Amino acid sequence: MARVTSLPAEIYLARALEHIHGRVTVVGSANADLTLHTNTLPRPGQTVLGTPVRVLPGGKSSNQAVQAALLGASVRFVGAVGKDHYGELLRASMHRAGVVLTDCVQSTNETGTAVVVVDDSGENTVVISPGANSDVTDAMVNDHADAVRQAQVLGLCLETPVSGALAAARLAAASGTLVLLNLSPYCNVPAELLRLTDVLIVNENELSDLLPMHVTSGPNDFDCAEQDRVAAGLSKLGIDQAVITLGSRGSLVIEGASTTVVPAIPTDAIDTTGCGDAFFGTVLAAMASGTPLLDACRLASCVASMAATGHGAQASYADRARTAAYLTSLASLQIR
């Protein structure tokens, strides 16, 4: 049966934020985001006018690592960038956030890029050219095995070869490292990878690709039978803990037979690029520090809402001090 949670008291979330200190390793992608804005996203065959292109640091794994580090986690990034200006941009952004880059290799391939188009409502489309991200294979990951073994939590996504993600998950399972998988961009993955995953994080579209059913209701009127079917379907794949992100409608946290709705924080979105990664990075940081999944998602909801109020991904991410101030402002609004 689904439960709906309200925003916990500011002191409760602030305590969870203050306790972030754990070791996180993120294995995966880094992209230079070529970002432009337009009034409306183009339909197939349609041409629309856009703003000048801005180049911003991005890539799902790099984003997640940056957000986790900004919140206070000790973060290592295992990935690859080219020996070019874009690679320097990405390394500089991660370094400023405090991400350890000894396991970020310089590739002979060019740095991965993504073309990001954002409309007036903050919605976006993304097309990726992998470039150096293609180097993150099982062989490379095994060369940097200590980065996985020494972490408390491992973060994975699918912007790099599945073989690398699977190798990292195997290393994590053998060393007692918690595995969190963001099944994005969606692709068919080996059943073993799902079995090795401790927490799966997907959005509605990815869930519908993974299972023959998907979330169709708003977060305040979930059909309990539907949620039970989703939980049962994930369990058959070896997934007992999962988070279904629903954008402005919040998220659904599944823990065995229990499902809990965590509402989104209402905000005037400017650009939703990277908000899912801010959410995931926060969960990584919180769980590495001993915070339970549900509480980690409550904090992540706040952090993701802040990311939506700025442009780009990493450029919009908040650090621990700004997050604490935001929590205080939310508590003040509730009191009024």
Kindly state whether residue 14 falls inside one of the protein's structural domains.
Answer: yes
Residue 116 lies in a domain: no
By annotation, the residues acting in catalysis are 277
Q: Report if residue 76 sits inside a domain.
A: yes
Give yes or no for a contact between 65 and 26, defined as CB atoms under 8 angstroms apart.
yes
The pLDDT assigned to 229 comes to 86
Domain annotation covers residue 49: no
B/e letters for 184-193, b = 16+ CB within 10 Å, e = fewer, are beeeebeeeb
Q: Give the C-alpha separation, 287 to 281, whole Å.
A: 10
Question: Phi and psi for 280 in degrees, rounded to 5?
Answer: -65, -45
CA atoms of 210 and 225, how far apart (whole Å): 18
Can you tell me the distance from the alpha carbon of 285 to that of 116, in angstroms, rounded to the nearest whole number?
26
Residue 25 lies in a domain: yes
Q: Does 122 map to a domain?
A: no
- Residue 283 to residue 16: CA distance in whole angstroms: 11
In whole angstroms, what is the distance from residue 86 CA to residue 76 CA?
20
Cβ-Cβ contacts under 8 Å for 15 (sequence gap 6 or more) = none
Distance, in Å, from the CA atom of 231 to the CA atom of 105, rounded to the nearest integer, reads: 39
pLDDT tens, per residue, the chain with 336 residues: 455 455 445 667 888 898 899 999 999 999 999 999 999 998 999 999 999 999 999 999 999 999 999 999 999 999 999 999 999 999 999 999 999 999 999 999 999 999 989 898 878 888 999 999 999 999 999 999 999 999 999 999 999 999 999 999 999 999 999 999 999 999 999 999 999 999 999 998 899 999 976 445 444 445 667 788 888 999 999 999 999 998 888 899 999 989 999 988 888 888 787 899 999 999 999 999 999 999 999 999 999 999 998 888 899 999 999 999 989 888 665 544
Residue 119 included in any domain: no
| Predicted local distance difference test score (pLDDT) of residue 118 | 87
Coil vs helix vs strand at 324: helix
- Angle at CA of residue 122, ends 29 and 154, nearest 5°: 25
Structural domain total, the chain: 1
279-294 burial: b if 16+ Cβ within 10 Å, else e = bbbbbbbbbbbebebb
d(CA 227, CA 260): 10
Write down the pLDDT at residue 241: 97
Write out the H or E segment, with its range, that includes residue 82: strand 74-82
Determine the Cα–Cα distance for residues 50 and 37; give it in Å rounded to an integer. 5
d(CA 21, CA 8): 21
In this structure, the number of other CB atoms found within 10 A of the CB of residue 3 comes to: 12
Domain that holds residue 267: 2-31+59-111+132-335
Q: What is the CATH number of the domain that holds 8?
A: 3.40.1190.20
* Assigned domain for 43 exists: no
Q: Name 82's bridge partners.
A: 107
Cα–Cα distance list, 64 to 280, 285, 300, 313 (Å): 6, 9, 12, 10
Cβ–Cβ under 8 Å, residues 180 and 284: yes
Q: What's the token pair of residue 42?
A: 């183009």
